Amino acid sequence: MNNSILELKNQVCSLALAEQLWELEVPQQSYFKHFVIKDRFKSDTGYNKENIAVSVPYTYLEKHKEGKHKGKNKLYAAYTVSELMELLPHYYQVRKTKLGNTDTNQPFETSYACYEPENSIDEEEERAVYVADTAADATASMLIHLIKEENYKPE
């Protein structure tokens, strides 16, 4: 098994997708949060002007929310695949595949697809399939598609 799959960044949706889900007003209920630090931090080469994003358990943030950066940072739900699947209609599926990335058309060594099974739609109807390098990103992309294109309301 590839150990990089077990890294937290590969178990939660990306910051970019988390921001989109936040903008679409998806409930921000996740065990993990993307914690975007908006201050400038001193480094060996001077000040870093970039925002820093880290994924941490929400319980960690609860313990440290009164720190010196209070009010300067942004939190986005860093949904896991399990949490995202709870937000999708029950018949959607996610699986490992050899398909390429939906957005860049680049093949992945291993990728993940989130889709609606053929037997749940009319034969005439096209079905959406979202592919990404992590299962969480494929599933988050599908949820964004359903909200934007089909007026789906996750609860």
Q: What pLDDT digit, counting tens, does each position of 8-19 carry?
A: 778 899 989 999
- pTM of the complete model beyond 0.75: no
pLDDT tier at 20, thresholds 50, 70, 90: very high
pLDDT (0 to 100) of residue 31: 87
pLDDT (0 to 100) of residue 46: 44
Average pLDDT over residues 61-90: 74
Q: What angle do CA 10, 13, 18 make, to 5 degrees?
A: 150
pLDDT (0 to 100) of residue 86: 95
Distance CA 136, CA 79 (A): 7
Say which range, 26-30, 36-40, 116-120, 133-137, has the weakest mean pLDDT: 36-40
pLDDT tier at 35, thresholds 50, 70, 90: confident
Please check whether residue 38 is in contact with residue 73, taking contact to mean a CB–CB distance below 8 angstroms: yes
Average pLDDT value for the chain: 75
